[in-house]
Every structure is written in structure tokens, then in C-alpha cells.
Amino acid sequence: MPGSGYATISRKKILEFLKKNSDRTVAVADIDHYLKAQDCEVNITTIYRYLDKLAKDGTVIKYVAEKGNQAVYQYVELGHHCEEHLHLQCVKCGKIIHLECEFMDEISEHILKDHGFKLQCKNSILYGMCSACQESK
């Protein structure tokens, strides 16, 4: 199992939840709520520690927005190469879109050439609203 030296029921359930929600970011509170609904009581600190371990081994990406906001996490499919592209996140539903297109390469080159700034793509997020949430306004 990724991110663990041993597999516990709580770790399996956390990973299960992350995989089911890999198209969006999740907060520790989301995981805690899911675990409680599964009759699996886990200390919040245990959830944070396991998420930190998963982030360290590349199984999840940890996004930290502005100071004071809590971190959110996203499960990364094997071979997704999130360090090579930027991400969009819907502020309404939390959906993540991976920008794996040539246009983003042009933007990255422009920023480097004209502004002397190299983008760090792995944990980058541009915030906005996905088309589904725009239509449901």
C-alpha cells in the first residue's frame, strides 16, 4: 500500500476515500466525516500524519492556499506527472482539472523568457469555476 509501512483499516479507508475523490481536492474534515460514516473512528492527528506521509511519497498532492486556510489534498494517479503541468480548481465544487496542453507550455516559456520566473507546476492551482458550476448558478 502506498505511503505506509503497514496497512491498517483506517489507512485503507482513507486511501479508498482519496481514490474515489481523485477528481477534486479534499480536506481532513471530509475524510473524517467519511470515516465516521463508515464506523471507523480515527483521531484527526492520525489522519494528518498519514496524509503527510502520502504527500511525502507522492501519492497525494498537498495544496496550501492563503495563510490561515487549511490544506487540501488530492490523490494522484500513478503516471499523472502533476509536476509537469498546472492545475485548475473550481471554487464551488472543488473539482481539479489538469492542464496538460501545449498552450500551458507556451505560457510557462513566456513567463520564464519575459519575466525571469520559472513556474513550479506540482502544487500549482489557478482558481475559478468549472463549466458545470457556472451553468448551475
Q: What is the pLDDT of residue 91?
A: 85
Helix or strand run (H / E) with residue 13: helix 9-20
Number of domains within the chain:
2
Residues placed in the known binding site: 80, 90, 93, 130, 133
Q: What is the pLDDT of residue 110?
A: 92
Q: What is the pLDDT of residue 32?
A: 96
3-state secondary structure of 55: helix
Q: Please report, for the domain that includes residue 105, its CATH number.
A: 3.30.1490.190
CB 85 within 8 A of CB 121: yes
Residues placed in the known binding site for Fe cation: 80
What global pTM score does this model have? 0.70
Which residues of the chain are modeled with pLDDT < 70?
1-7, 65-69, 78-82, 122-123, 137
Q: E strands, the chain, where? A: 60-63, 72-75, 86-90, 96-99, 126-128
Q: What is the pLDDT of residue 4?
A: 44
Residues placed in the known binding site for Zn(2+): 90, 93, 130, 133
Residue 80 included in any domain: no
By residue range, what is the domain housing residue 102?
85-133
Grid coordinates representing 74?
A: 488530492
If we measure between CA atoms, which residue out of 93, 102, 99, 66 comes closest to residue 80?
A: 99
CB 81 within 8 A of CB 119: no
Q: What is the pLDDT of residue 80?
A: 60
Q: Are residues 96 and 124 in the same domain?
A: yes
Residue 111 included in any domain: yes
Q: For all residues of the chain together, what is the average pLDDT?
A: 84
Residue 102 included in any domain: yes
